Structure 1
Amino acid sequence: MLPAGVCVVTARDAAGSPRGLLATSVSSYSASPPSLLLSVARSARSHSAITEGRRFGVHLLRAERGLAIAERFAAKAEDKFAGLAWRWDEGVPCLEDVIWYLRCRRSATFGHHDHTIVVGDVEVGEVHPGEPLLYARRRMDWLLRPGE
């Protein structure tokens, strides 16, 4: 398995609450229009918010501070946003202090086995300096920092 950037995917649920999950299955899809795809387990609590909502956000976590955020969004906690710095961006929960953030408009979904593949067209993005948090070998203890 190739190393992957550790991302948090966020969306607003039908009740208006922020939802999110940890994802390493995020990939570029097309350059024109700019779009990406991600895979969401049907068992995830955030599945319906991401796969049925109009928009979602993708956040690449920082190497130096992202592990705690990654662990929080990998857990089954009800309110993963409590105590985090975040804001609403056109109805999408936007985490602060990340390497980059992309707000996407959901353009397609495909069911496949126990996951839903979501294609999102990028509406807006923010890029900040820093090193990304990476994941390899299917284990959280193999999170890597570039140069180490």
Structure 2
Amino acid sequence: MEKIRIAGIEEESIVDGPGIRFVIFTQGCNHHCIGCHNPETHSFDGGELVDIENIVNKIKENPLLDGITISGGEPFEQSLECSILAKKVKALGLNVVTYTGYTFEEILGNKKFRDLLLQTDLLIDGKFDISQKSMMLHFRGSTNQRIIDVKKYLG
């Protein structure tokens, strides 16, 4: 069975993307942003290894979900595992929001990241920058971060 290393799950959230979201917090991040909201997710050895199918089964239990949000940690550090999860979720008719410390341009330039990008509907990109922190932003922590409609951009 395919597995993914996660720090945790939030089964219902309204702050991590549009609508009601099932949020998966991946484990492992090299960005180490000052003021990070989830510093416990930085270690690549922490969290727990779980079966992707078990996560999908939990998602299926809630008919009110609009989609999932893959956050972190850094989802693109487990791009293959996250893309497998995202593809299974999209087959259920749900959408996918992915948070990343990488910029959209960095992701486009990395073939390893391509599969997850193609399964993502909305991408929140860029490292959290505490000097640009704002509590007034939807779905973002700092003004340098962007909300990108991936399907619209890639056509």
TM-score, structure 1 normalization: 0.28
TM-score, structure 2 normalization: 0.27
Query: Which one has more relative contact order, counting CA pairs under 8 Å at least 6 apart?
Result: 1
